[in-house]
Amino acid sequence: MHNKSKKSVFGWGNTFKSKRSVVITVAVAMIMFVGFQAAKAGEIDPSKPPIKVGVLHSLSGTMAISEVAIKDVVLMAIDEINAAGGLLGGRKVVPVIEDPASDWPTFAEKAKKLILRDDVCSVFGCWTSASRKAVLPVFEKYNHLLWYPVQYEGNECSKNVIYSGAAPNQQTCPAVTWLLKQGKKRFYLLGS
Q: How do residues 158-183 score in pLDDT, each as one tens digit?
A: 899 988 887 777 788 888 899 999 99
Residue 109 CB-half CA count within 13 A: 8
Class of domain 19-167: alpha beta
Strand-pair category, 146-148 with 51-56 = unpaired
- The predicted pLDDT at position 167 comes to 76
pLDDT above 90 coverage of the chain, percent: 56
Annotated domain spans of the chain: 19-167
Amino acid symbol at 49: P
- The predicted pLDDT at position 20 comes to 59
- Start-to-end CA span in the chain (Å): 39
> Chain centroid to CA 155: how far?
19
Helices (H) and strands (E) in the chain, counts: 5, 5
Q: Can you list the positions of beta strands (E) in the chain?
A: 51-56, 93-98, 122-125, 146-148, 161-163
Which regions in the chain score pLDDT beneath 70?
Answer: 1-41, 191-192
Contact 116, 74 (CB under 8 A): no
Closest to 29 (Cα-Cα) out of 164, 179, 171: 164
Amino acid symbol at 178: W
Q: Is 183 left (phi over 0), alpha (psi -120 to 50) or beta?
A: left
Q: What is the DSSP letter of 83?
A: H
Q: pTM for the full model?
A: 0.72
Contact 32, 124 (CB under 8 A): yes
Distance of alpha carbon 165 from alpha carbon 111, whole angstroms: 20
User: What is the crossing angle of helices 19-34 and 64-83, to 10°?
Assistant: 110
Distance of alpha carbon 53 from alpha carbon 128, whole angstroms: 20
Contact 111, 69 (CB under 8 A): no
pLDDT above 70 coverage of the chain, percent: 78
